Structure 1
Amino acid sequence: MSHQPFPHANDEEEPPKLEPIISAMKCEQTGHIMEAILLYEESIYKLNQMSEAEPNKKHLCGKYIKVYETRAKQLREQVKSHLQSSRVLDHISIERDSRGKSYQRLFGAYLDDNVKEAHINEPHLTDQNHIRNLLNFLEVLVKNCRYLKYIRLTTRPDPVMPKNQQLILEQIRSDLATGNIQLHYQMDDTLHDRKIVLSSGVVIKIGRGLHYFEASDNSHTLGLCDFDFRKCQATEVDIWKCRAFAKKPKNPGEPQNDVDEASAEAEPNGYSSD
């Protein structure tokens, strides 16, 4: 399959060769719409940088910037229309000091083979308890979603130890890559909303984000591995459902338009035991 920028495939000028552009079109062609939007936006940012650094490419970059801005806008409108048709699936009130509210217990029913990408907005990932919560949620997500291939994590930068935060996220990214799952993370100083958006159309909003468990510095207590044993802080959870943002994975026996791409998409991630 060719990943040349489709709107200008016949132009004599060679298109800018940026990895996010190729990845964005691949994501769109394989049904990973949410990830495609962010990659198009990243491409636009890098094309603007290229235009400033290399004035002789300003006209060429400007032409492609307009193309990708238009495409990203179209995809955002598509996602917006899906969200507008959403309905409430469940509302959960978590009481202070309650137990039995692990990620698996609360969200496991919504994590299945239809989830191909997940977007996690979690503003606070700065201390050890935050990272433990993130890792446990990722374990639940990956274990339940056999066809998961993309995770986009957005958080605030650590104002005290930004390099340490980046090192930890890089380690998580590298580990997920061994299971054929791509993690992209980005920093947003203004991030406030806490939500998890799944490509199956499920949107999870938690008042406290992933961190509704009481923090503990004692590693010799129940709940270190099984979060059902952990005490919770009071919070509210809303789970919504809208139209899916991504195509459902095809069965290997179904006819495919593009054998290589479709076969890769039909394969479970590297963590699946099937």
Structure 2
Amino acid sequence: MAQNCLPGMETSAVSVLKRAVELDQSSRFQESLVCYQEGIQLLLDVLKAIKDESKKVHYREKIKGYMDRAEQIKEHLNKVKEEGKYHEQIKIADSATGFSYEALFKPYIREGLTEVWVEDPYIRHVHQLYNFLRFCEMLLKAKCNVKKINLLTSQDEESSSQQESALAEIRQSLQSQDVCLDIKYSSTIHDREIRFDNGWIIKIGRGLDYFKKSKGRFSIGYCDYDLRECHETTVDIFHTKHTKKT
């Protein structure tokens, strides 16, 4: 590995591990564990590339410290999951960025995920339908094996044909990826909740529609939702042994 790559690798490792510590201190343990694991891997790559023996000793000590903390967090998470008491809250500030679906859901979609339930009354208008499509795309790209997505939403009385047509197209497209989309409508649904069959429950105050409208079609954040500003909302994350199915 070229030595001139080292500064960039070190900078990346420091950035990811700094974020891990911040999340750890904020008791956002599941997210911090993911960052610790990514940062440790980056440091291991740095360790392989450096030649200076004193630096090697320094990095080995750093890696051991981060690995010990990651193991402590993993044990803590396993314990609270077994007890069915896991609860984490993320507060997204007004105009905050960095909260794409990938960023928000990534820590919770790895453990043998095969089925998802989305309850959101506002998958009706065009931008909301695109949000749901992006959520489905995120699941397909994730390290899991989703075979079924269940959507419970309300029907758009003013343009139900557009809503039904869009959802039918999403269903057909998912079918080509060997994923079944089951769609049900409710006139009384108010709660917004996403449930995974690996035990995770994510409740977002605004549902999937927590992004602000882009300032233009050629503005930063139009395509990449990590760069899109968000509305203020709260995300509550739970873990239970058994996910209730409807």
Which category of TM-score, normalised to the shorter sequence, fits these structures?
Answer: 0.5 to 0.7
Q: Match of 2:141?
A: 143
- Aligned partner of 1:98 among 96, 100, 103: 96
Q: What is the CA RMSD across the aligned residues, in angstroms?
A: 1.9
Q: Flag the structure with higher helix content.
A: 2
Q: Match of 1:77?
A: none
Q: CA contact under 8 A between 1:153 and 1:184: conserved in structure 2?
A: yes
Matches within 5 A, 1:183-194: 183-194=181-192
Q: CA contact under 8 A between 2:121 and 2:154: conserved in structure 1?
A: yes
TM-score (norm 2): 0.63
CA distance in 1, matches of 2:214, 2:130: 11
- Aligned partner of 1:195 among 193, 205, 222: 193
CA distance in 1, matches of 2:130, 2:109: 20
Q: Match of 2:123?
A: 125
The Cα shift of 1:140 comes to 1.1
CA distance in 1, matches of 2:152, 2:112: 22
- Aligned partner of 1:238 among 236, 239, 243: 236
Unaligned runs of 5+ in 2: 1-80
The Cα shift of 1:137 comes to 1.2
CA distance in 2, matches of 1:145, 1:169: 24
% identical aligned pairs: 33
Residue type of the alignment partner of 1:126: R
Unaligned runs of 5+ in 1: 1-82, 247-274
CA distance in 1, matches of 2:126, 2:145: 29
Q: CA contact under 8 A between 2:86 and 2:238: conserved in structure 1?
A: yes
- Aligned partner of 1:160 among 155, 158, 161: 158
The Cα shift of 1:245 comes to 4.7
Q: CA contact under 8 A between 1:113 and 1:144: conserved in structure 2?
A: no
Q: Match of 1:211?
A: 209
Q: CA contact under 8 A between 2:214 and 2:222: conserved in structure 1?
A: no
Aligned residues: 163
- Aligned partner of 2:85 among 58, 64, 87: 87
Q: Match of 2:55?
A: none
TM-score (norm 1): 0.56
